[in-house]
Amino acid sequence: MSDNQPNNIKVNEDGKPFANEQAARDYIKAKELDRANFIPRKYQGGFAIYDMEATISLAAGQMAGGSKEKEADEKYWLVEFNQAGSTNDCPHVPLIVNNWDLRITRGKQVVIPHRFLEAAQHAEQTNYVPDDSAVGVGRQPMKAQGKIMRFPPRILREATRKEFEDGLASGNGIQNEWLSSLRRAAP
Question: Mean of the per-residue pLDDT values for the chain?
Answer: 75
3: pLDDT strictly greater than 50: no
% of residues, the chain, pLDDT over 70: 68
Local confidence band at 2 (pLDDT 50, 70, 90 cut-offs): very low
Where is pLDDT greater, at 58 or 122? 122
Q: Per-residue pLDDT for 89 more than 70?
A: no
Question: ∠144-149-85 over CA atoms, to 5°?
Answer: 90
Q: Read off the pLDDT band of 13 (50, 70, 90).
A: confident
- Judge contact between 158 and 76, C-beta under 8 A: yes
What are 132-170's pLDDT values in tens digits? 766 665 667 777 777 776 778 889 999 988 888 777 766
Name the pairing type of β-strands 109-113 and 153-159: unpaired
Label residue 23 by pLDDT band (50, 70, 90): very high
Output the furthest CA–CA distance in the chain (Å, rounded): 79
Q: For the sheet with 46-51, list strands across it.
A: 9-10, 46-51, 38-43
pLDDT score, position 63: 61
Cβ atoms of 59 and 182 closer than 8 Å: yes
Cα–Cα distance measured from residue 114 to residue 92, given in angstroms and rounded to the nearest whole number: 18
How many C-beta atoms surround the C-beta of residue 132 within 10 A?
9
Higher pLDDT, 118 or 185: 118
